[in-house]
Amino acid sequence: MSYTKPNLKSKHYDNLFNSLPSLEGKTIAITGTTSGTGYVAANACGKLGAKVLLLNRQSERSVKSYESLKANTPNGDFIRIECDLQNFNSVKESTKNIEESAIEGLDVLCNNAGVMALEDIATVDGYDVQMQTNHLSHFLLVKLLFPLLKKAESLRGEARIINHSSIARKQPSKNLKSAYLEKNGGNLGGNGTSIMGGARWLRYNQTKLANAAFTAALHHKLSATNLNIKAIVAHPGLAETDLQTTTVKDGGMGKWITRQMMKLGQSREDGALGILKSIADSSINSGDFVGPGMGGMFSAIKGEAKAYPLESFYDNEEVRNLLWSKSCQAIGQEFSIK
Ligand SMILES: NC(=O)c1ccc[n+]([C@@H]2O[C@H](COP(=O)([O-])OP(=O)(O)OC[C@H]3O[C@@H](n4cnc5c(N)ncnc54)[C@H](OP(=O)(O)O)[C@@H]3O)[C@@H](O)[C@H]2O)c1
């Protein structure tokens, strides 16, 4: 089952792109660049002169999107690196290749990839497929690539870690629960599809809350060091990407209702404004939440991306500690920021 996208026009992308500085000399890794916001961000970074590491699982989509990026920006420096976020071993393997391509350090790690409202299944590592893809593997990537981020910071004065959250971070629940970060894949409530609290959506909500809480914890820990490594979180509003297509195919949303809902959203280019601004705009600080709005549903679904403060329902000691300890337990490694 597939749904037909409404084909929305971009309103703000060109303005933002034209305001961004050159990224020459920088190495930028982005997860999930085969479509959607990751593709747009990779394309923009390539045009702005960065070396762009494309972290994707192996697929035809990965090959085709690489070819499309090369065709759009023939001088772009794009490097494909295999990284399947459903598998911790694949993430570990990918970091060896990233090290070879980022000898002078990694200026930006943009943890963009994600899946939404999929069935209640476990990864090969035993975690919820959504939580491992959207958060736990990104936590592992940050831990393993931290020395490369430090290297870029020492050579060029700054590095950035960007996580991609969502309006869904605060609905249906604002409470991060440890069960979703533990080895409970396949046993996390079943396949209810109600967007108001069905189990598929509650699991997605927990992953997007984890993205924000991870940023808050990173920001807090980095602020206690002398490192100029920025922890930033972005959200795309409601953006017309392949995210909804994948969810419809998996049975998480009906195709008619998805099309009606997406008519209220924005183009994938405008959806990428938050991560692109977080990657490249010099005015963005550590601890910023960058997106079209933070308040009620309607102010947050589309528009120019602006910087807002982190929110107290995850930026507090209890949630930051829960997120960090459970994520370290899942990846089987300690992670100290120093
Ligand atoms: N679109 C929205 O309205 C919206 C709203 C809020 C938040 N977001 C967030 O925005 C981010 C980007 O999503 P999108 O909207 O651009 O959707 P998208 O077009 O579906 O892109 C998702 C990307 O993640 C990749 N991915 C999925 N599973 C992966 C895995 N196991 N290993 C490596 N890569 C994997 C996909 O690659 P494959 O080709 O391998 O599947 C694809 O490149 C996500 O974190 C999502 O939660 C989107």
Q: What residue spans define the domains of the chain?
A: 13-331
Tell the residue nearest (CA) to atom 6 of ligand 1: 166
CA distance 268 to 308: 21
Residue 29 has pLDDT above 70, yes or no: yes
Tell the residue nearest (CA) to atom 23 of ligand 1: 32
C-beta 242 within 6 A of ligand 1:
yes
C-beta 258 within 6 A of ligand 1:
no
Q: Position 246: which residue type?
A: T
**pLDDT over 90, % of the chain:** 97
Helix (H) or strand (E) holding 80: strand 77-82
Tell the residue nearest (CA) to atom 17 of ligand 1: 243
Among candidates 166, 41, 179, 191, which has minimal Cα distance to 114? 166
**Continuous H helices in the chain:** 13-19, 36-47, 60-72, 88-101, 129-131, 137-156, 199-223, 243-250, 255-262, 268-271, 273-280, 297-300, 317-331
13-331 folds as: Rossmann fold (3.40.50)
134: helix, strand or coil: helix
Tell the residue nearest (CA) to atom 46 of ligand 1: 114
The string of pLDDT tens digits covering residues 71-106 is: 999 999 999 999 999 999 999 999 999 999 999 999
The pTM for the full model equals: 0.98
pLDDT at 1: 63
Which atom of ligand 1 is the closest one to the Cα of 111? Answer: 45
Neighbours of 198 (CB within 10 A): 18
Which atom of ligand 1 is the closest one to the Cα of 238? Answer: 3
Best residue among 115, 137, 250 to mutate for probing ligand 1, ranked by most atoms within 8 Å of CB: 115
The string of pLDDT tens digits covering residues 227-237 is: 999 999 999 99
Positive or negative torsion for Cα 238, 314, 134, 91: positive
